[in-house]
Structure 1
Amino acid sequence: MKIKVLQHDPAVHLPQRPGDPTPVSRNLDPLMHPFSRARERTRALNAAKMDRMFAKPFVASLEGHVDAVEVMAKQPGSLTTVASGSWDGGLIVHHLARRTQLFHAAQAHKGKVSGVCFSREDRLFSCGVDRTVKAWNTESTDPDALSVYNGKTPFNSIDHHNSDPLFATASNIVQIWDETKTSAISNLSFPTSAETIKAVRFNLSETSVLASVGTDRTFTLYDIRTGKAERRVIMQMSSNDLSWSPTFPTTVLLASEDHNLYTFDIRNLTNPSQIYKGHVAAVMSCDWAPTGLEFVSGGWDRTLRIWKEGRGHNPEVYHTKRMQRVSSALFTSDARFVLSGSDDGNVRIWKAKASERLGIVTGRERAAIEYRESLKERWKADQQVGKVSRFVPHDFDSCPSSDMKQPATHAQGSLPGKQTQAHHVGCSTGQGREETKTHTGWRRQAQGRAPKSCRYRADVAHTTDFCIHYPGQHIPFRMRGVSVAVFVLLIRRHRLHTSPHFDNDLRPDMLMAKLTVPPTSEEIVVSIPQEHVLLITFNRPRSLNAMTPQMSEDVARVMAWFEDEASLWVVVITGAGRLFCAGADLKAWNKNEQSGKPQHPDTIVSQLNGFGSISRRESKKPFIAAVNGGAYGGGTEMVLNCDLVVASNDAKFGLPEVKRGVVAIQGGIPRLVRLAGQQLASEMLLLGSTISAEDARNRFGFVNVVVPPSDVLPTALQLAEQIVNNSPDGVQSTKRAMLLTTKHDNEGTVAAHVRSAESLDQLYGDNIKEGLKAFGEKRTPKWNNPGIRTKL
């Protein structure tokens, strides 16, 4: 008789090794587990709640500084060594694991330490406002510096080359230094830039490439192989810091004053690749994690935020009651911790993952952690799971919603919220409740920033729109339910001027991409600093911008294009370096004379637009001259043909042609005689004398405004902005009438003007209707490009 028996192998049902869990047999058929999704969702919700329950990001505080911590830097190849510098000139090298000081120089610099970095040989370099760069041996107890490098201006930032013994400093220019030499080996600057550079960083992979950000709202790329600036981007507001991605060499991160962070791909700088919104005050510092998957930022809202790469919202937010404005933020080399340096003088250590357990983790614990992370990632779109993950505490719940801030184009201002206790938040765009209609909430938020005299509650709630003015731009600022005293405090803190809200639809840094600018040589730089405004810069500073035939041809092409481009309403003309224009290039002129090829009189008369294609040009569009340092010869003749002239207080003007055997024949003589009279004009024309900017304004009358040298271009752009705020049809028709007065008497001017094309465009165009309608509705008119007629 045959009997069938079930036989089981005991080894299959027993642990393979001592201590292993007993194997469990499961039926994976979905029909046998109808509640698997509900059970998994419950586990994901519990995992999210546990993540919040065990969220304790603060690790330790490193003391030692007696003033605000300004900068920090980590040592390459070390997980535990970090250097920090403070406003009192102190320099400390910390050991993070032992939480001790490896090196301390109480007076490393006289004044603020503005930058620190490590070399590949583990030497520490620091720079300060005392115009020195110092090299330190951190392994020695000797408080004296190994080397001292002296500069001419205060330094704002420093960074070391990734492999070579070179380092870069930032002041008013970028300088490249060799460790073995006491002076800079190379000076890098953009030709038209004269502002302060805030930060400079070498690329981690392309080691010859470095970038900087400056107070003129620019982000600039340099190449030390060519020894010059390669590209520049003008932002809506200035950036305070930058950081190169460690995994994507072409990606750079910018921390901006408009409360946002931007990532750019340097291969295409037309638009940012991602905008990160969440801060409610200026972002002061940023740093990538070594993995390149996340980065940290710190700002004036007293918070430290950790962002996921490519996710522009919902950062992890850390703050404490005692932590003040964060001026420096840093990821450690193992990407497990972040550091913050703040105004209260402490360097704080935080977990990069708030609920991470420190210490030894077994294999089973690691598997459970990874399982819970996968559940949260799978169910992150669930309403309940997402609500727990994006929990916003009460103190941040009353902050203005971050979607009030428009990136780059409309940067909205707001006040930071009050932080009361140390905990971890996951702030998300729009998750906070609508701000209250009374001043109480804003009063509570402002108490940490405003003096006691500003802490009061207004009787009536209100919403007011203002516009913050920077040179050449408008930034709307929404004040909703905030006391006027607190708002005035904010305005005074930033030295701003306000006016009613002005809407600007286009980003200035994107306007060049929308137009086809004629090609020019490097001697002429064409840019569009703001909407409807063209900026032409003579770029021969070493030759005092003396006009060459190539420059004249470039200007002629650009001006012809400017005349035909309806979206450009006014042009600003300036010169790079210390002089506006020194006139014609006499060396080239002398070469033509010596070769027996003098300029024929008929040729001079045939040049209808005159010197530099400007001095005799009769354009319906306004010209503004921004004269830095002065103008001579043909440069003065170009200035005389401009409608508005802004000059620096050290500027000089002259027509010294008679001293060189030539004549100011490009239109300057009749204009100067009409403006100043024959006797005053003779001082410049017959004596060849030079006059100051004050005399040009008060006696001769061809200069409108005299300002300090640093304010010349901003003032000219402000004048251009005032013109742009007017009707372009009205402006061009008026300009045509002004030109006709030099050819006709009063009656003839009126008769010729009313029949001109500009007058017909103004009379039958759309802008006259918009202006009258806006006046009746008591609003700001929105002008169209000139020349658009709806009725003939």
Structure 2
Amino acid sequence: MKVRMISRSTEDFTRERSGDILKVFRNYDPALRPMAKAVEYQRAINAAKLDKIFARPFIGAMDGHADGVSCMAKNPNNLKAIFSGSMDGDIRLWDMATRRTVSQFPGHKGAVRGLTVSSDGNILVSCGTDSTVRLWSIPPPGDWEYEKSINIVSEAVAVFSWKHAFWAVDHQWSGNFFATAGAQVDIWDHNRSEPVNTFGWGNDTSISVRFNPGEPNLLATSASDRSIVIYDLRMSSPARKLIMKTKTNSISWNPMEPMNFTVANEDANCYSYDGRRLDEAKCVHQDHVSAVMDIDYSPTGREFVTGSYDRTVRIFQYNGGRSRDVYHTKRMQRVFCVKYSCDGTYLISGSDDTNLRLWKAKASEQLGVLLPREKKNHEYHEALKERYKHLPEVNRIIRHRHLPKPIYKAANLRRTMVEAERAKEKKRKAHSAPGSISTQPYRKRRIIKEVE
């Protein structure tokens, strides 16, 4: 006689990591779940509220400088290393994991204005107002002695003296050349004590320089005459020049779309351009209430971070007109430099109060090891917020930010001025002959002229 039995595996009917809880099998037929959208909407509201509850972006401060932090650089071959230079000539290498100084690089007699690291991660290049460029050997991570309180003091490998002060420096993403900005744009080789090439367009001082991540011979600079100039090392003269209404303080190329770059401007806005078409900005990023001092793209190319004179750090989508998040503390002063970490998880800001601050790129992100169920839960909440972000209640919770009172008042005043200007222009157009006044789009209105 044969007896048929039903045989089932225990693993198929129990959840992971808990043998006593049974799995719940759901039938997702819409006819059986008439309240599915209402339930999901309520879950989206709760997910947005939980983001606000758990938003703790500030991780810690790295204190050690005696003067304001003026520039920073990251090592492409080391995730937890960050270099900082201050206005008194002090250069430090920090370990972000322990938030302590690993090494110091003494030698500059004036303010350090530029720092950059070579593409192989072995050489640090610094420049400053003492008219010198210094090359330093970076200590390997194996030499970082955590148990000792004495920092490693490094000596300069080479010192290049020149005729004028320097305001910025940047190294090729792949190659041996680096560029300095000052009275002119100079191209240097590691093994040459004088520039191998010099560029200039006009007599104004260049204040920032950035090499293109995709094309090693292409670089962009901004100058104090409100111009943005694109140079090509293979040509004897500059390629393109763009003049804006206000000065550009910093430039950053999008690492995933190397034809696009974003500039931090003195008029409290950032402008994204396509290098192939400079007659208008692709996008205008506005939310700051004072001059934007520095900008840096995330390694993913989807976001960038800005630091401003208004004492805040803001995160923007690469194609978003408004900031996704704003970071500030009571003690933080004017922010002069900002950087993304090499993995895009953290932000580092350097300000006038001598501190470097470490932030989370996502304010409510849970740090540490996540269990599989926790990870799925976070992904589900993100999907819900993305699906229902256009609805008023969810959108209001996501957009709401608490701001310091001076910044809140300045933002209201700025909004009033913009609306008054718009109303004035509308009235002028209404009382003029038809077609006599042409209205330019906002992204094009900021540009004066383009020079070939």
CA 1:18 to 1:305, structure 2 compared with 1: closer, same or farther past 3 Å?
A: closer
Match of 2:431 in 1: none
Deviations 1:514-572 (A, max 9, x none): xxxxxxxxxxxx79xxxxxxxxxxxxxxxxxxxxxxxxxxxxxxxxxxxxxxxxxxxxx
**2:281 matches 1:272:** yes
Match of 1:158 in 2: 169
Question: 2:314 aligns to what SS in structure 1?
Answer: strand
The separation in 1 between residues aligned to 2:118 and 2:353, in whole angstroms, is: 29
The answer to whether the Cα contact below 8 Å between 1:236 and 1:508 also exists between their aligned partners in 2 is no
The answer to whether the Cα contact below 8 Å between 1:234 and 1:509 also exists between their aligned partners in 2 is no
- Report the TM-score, using the length of structure 2 for normalisation: 0.86
The answer to whether the Cα contact below 8 Å between 1:170 and 1:200 also exists between their aligned partners in 2 is yes
The separation in 1 between residues aligned to 2:91 and 2:197, in whole angstroms, is: 27
The answer to whether the Cα contact below 8 Å between 2:348 and 2:359 also exists between their aligned partners in 1 is yes
Determine which structure has greater relative contact order: mean sequence separation of CA pairs < 8 Å that are 6+ residues apart, divided by chain length: 2
The separation in 1 between residues aligned to 2:257 and 2:371, in whole angstroms, is: 33
The offset of 1:129, in angstroms, is 0.3
Letter aligned with residue 358 of structure 2: I
The separation in 2 between residues aligned to 1:37 and 1:326, in whole angstroms, is: 44
> In the TM superposition, what are the counterparts of 1:8-23 in structure 2 within 5 Å?
10-11=8-9, 14-15=13-14, 19=18, 22-23=22-23
CA 1:26 to 1:315, structure 2 compared with 1: closer, same or farther past 3 Å?
A: closer
Match of 2:246 in 1: 237
Match of 2:101 in 1: 101
Match of 1:360 in 2: 369
Question: 1:229 aligns to what SS in structure 2?
Answer: coil
Deviations 1:460-505 (A, max 9, x none): xxxxx9xxxxxxxxxxxxxxxxxxxxxxxxxxxxxxxxxxxxx997
> In the TM superposition, what are the counterparts of 1:527-566 in structure 2 within 5 Å?
none
Match of 2:221 among 198, 201, 212: 212
The offset of 1:355, in angstroms, is 0.6
Match of 1:167 in 2: 178
> In the TM superposition, what are the counterparts of 1:67-466 in structure 2 within 5 Å?
67-105=67-105, 107-121=106-120, 122-139=122-139, 141-190=152-201, 193-393=202-402, 395=405, 397-401=408-412, 403-404=415-416
The answer to whether the Cα contact below 8 Å between 2:297 and 2:303 also exists between their aligned partners in 1 is yes
Question: 2:225 aligns to what SS in structure 1?
Answer: coil
Letter aligned with residue 36 of structure 2: S
Match of 1:51 in 2: 51
CA 1:221 to 1:153, structure 2 compared with 1: closer, same or farther past 3 Å?
A: same
CA 1:284 to 1:381, structure 2 compared with 1: closer, same or farther past 3 Å?
A: same
The offset of 1:7, in angstroms, is 8.0
Letter aligned with residue 310 of structure 2: D
The answer to whether the Cα contact below 8 Å between 2:314 and 2:323 also exists between their aligned partners in 1 is no
The answer to whether the Cα contact below 8 Å between 2:244 and 2:448 also exists between their aligned partners in 1 is no
Say what the alpha-carbon RMSD is for the aligned residues. 2.6
Match of 2:31 in 1: 31
The separation in 2 between residues aligned to 1:44 and 1:383, in whole angstroms, is: 12
The separation in 1 between residues aligned to 2:333 and 2:438, in whole angstroms, is: 34
Letter aligned with residue 386 of structure 2: E
The offset of 1:74, in angstroms, is 0.3
Q: Structure 1 regions of 5+ residues with no counterpart?
A: 413-464, 466-502, 514-525, 528-792
The separation in 2 between residues aligned to 1:37 and 1:508, in whole angstroms, is: 43
CA 1:18 to 1:53, structure 2 compared with 1: closer, same or farther past 3 Å?
A: closer
The separation in 1 between residues aligned to 2:93 and 2:80, in whole angstroms, is: 10
Match of 1:436 in 2: none
Letter aligned with residue 170 of structure 1: A
The answer to whether the Cα contact below 8 Å between 1:276 and 1:311 also exists between their aligned partners in 2 is yes
The answer to whether the Cα contact below 8 Å between 2:61 and 2:356 also exists between their aligned partners in 1 is yes
The answer to whether the Cα contact below 8 Å between 1:302 and 1:325 also exists between their aligned partners in 2 is yes
Match of 1:63 in 2: 63
Deviations 1:627-685 (A, max 9, x none): xxxxxxxxxxxxxxxxxxxxxxxxxxxxxxxxxxxxxxxxxxxxxxxxxxxxxxxxxxx
The answer to whether the Cα contact below 8 Å between 2:112 and 2:126 also exists between their aligned partners in 1 is yes
Letter aligned with residue 113 of structure 1: V
CA 1:26 to 1:378, structure 2 compared with 1: closer, same or farther past 3 Å?
A: same
The separation in 1 between residues aligned to 2:133 and 2:306, in whole angstroms, is: 26
The separation in 1 between residues aligned to 2:339 and 2:416, in whole angstroms, is: 28
Match of 2:434 in 1: none
Question: 2:246 aligns to what SS in structure 1?
Answer: coil
Deviations 1:559-597 (A, max 9, x none): xxxxxxxxxxxxxxxxxxxxxxxxxxxxxxxxxxxxxxx
Deviations 1:733-791 (A, max 9, x none): xxxxxxxxxxxxxxxxxxxxxxxxxxxxxxxxxxxxxxxxxxxxxxxxxxxxxxxxxxx
Letter aligned with residue 154 of structure 1: A
CA 1:117 to 1:162, structure 2 compared with 1: closer, same or farther past 3 Å?
A: same
The separation in 2 between residues aligned to 1:95 and 1:369, in whole angstroms, is: 29
Letter aligned with residue 109 of structure 1: H
Letter aligned with residue 293 of structure 1: R
Match of 1:672 in 2: none
The separation in 2 between residues aligned to 1:18 and 1:380, in whole angstroms, is: 34
Match of 2:149 in 1: none
Letter aligned with residue 339 of structure 1: I
Letter aligned with residue 194 of structure 2: S
Question: 1:400 aligns to what SS in structure 2?
Answer: helix
The separation in 1 between residues aligned to 2:112 and 2:396, in whole angstroms, is: 43
The answer to whether the Cα contact below 8 Å between 2:326 and 2:401 also exists between their aligned partners in 1 is no
Q: Structure 2 regions of 5+ residues with no counterpart?
A: 144-151, 425-436
The offset of 1:25, in angstroms, is 1.7
The separation in 2 between residues aligned to 1:6 and 1:244, in whole angstroms, is: 69
The offset of 1:212, in angstroms, is 0.1
Deviates more, 1:324-333 or 1:227-236: 227-236
More strand by share: 2
The offset of 1:154, in angstroms, is 0.2
Deviations 1:426-478 (A, max 9, x none): xxxxxxxxxxxxxxxxxxxxxxxxxxxxxxxxxxxxxxx9xxxxxxxxxxxxx
Letter aligned with residue 123 of structure 1: I
The offset of 1:34, in angstroms, is 1.3
The answer to whether the Cα contact below 8 Å between 1:324 and 1:343 also exists between their aligned partners in 2 is yes
Letter aligned with residue 10 of structure 1: R
The separation in 2 between residues aligned to 1:211 and 1:60, in whole angstroms, is: 33
CA 1:510 to 1:109, structure 2 compared with 1: closer, same or farther past 3 Å?
A: closer
The offset of 1:144, in angstroms, is 2.6
The offset of 1:353, in angstroms, is 0.4
> In the TM superposition, what are the counterparts of 1:476-515 in structure 2 within 5 Å?
none
The answer to whether the Cα contact below 8 Å between 1:175 and 1:188 also exists between their aligned partners in 2 is yes
Letter aligned with residue 71 of structure 1: C
More helix by share: 1
Letter aligned with residue 118 of structure 1: V
The separation in 2 between residues aligned to 1:188 and 1:406, in whole angstroms, is: 38
Runs of 4+ that moved beyond 4 A? 5-9, 402-407, 503-513
The offset of 1:358, in angstroms, is 1.3
Match of 1:484 in 2: none
The separation in 2 between residues aligned to 1:80 and 1:245, in whole angstroms, is: 22
The offset of 1:23, in angstroms, is 2.5
CA 1:375 to 1:109, structure 2 compared with 1: closer, same or farther past 3 Å?
A: same
Match of 1:760 in 2: none
Match of 1:497 in 2: none
Letter aligned with residue 177 of structure 1: W
> In the TM superposition, what are the counterparts of 1:599-610 in structure 2 within 5 Å?
none
CA 1:211 to 1:194, structure 2 compared with 1: closer, same or farther past 3 Å?
A: same
Match of 1:679 in 2: none
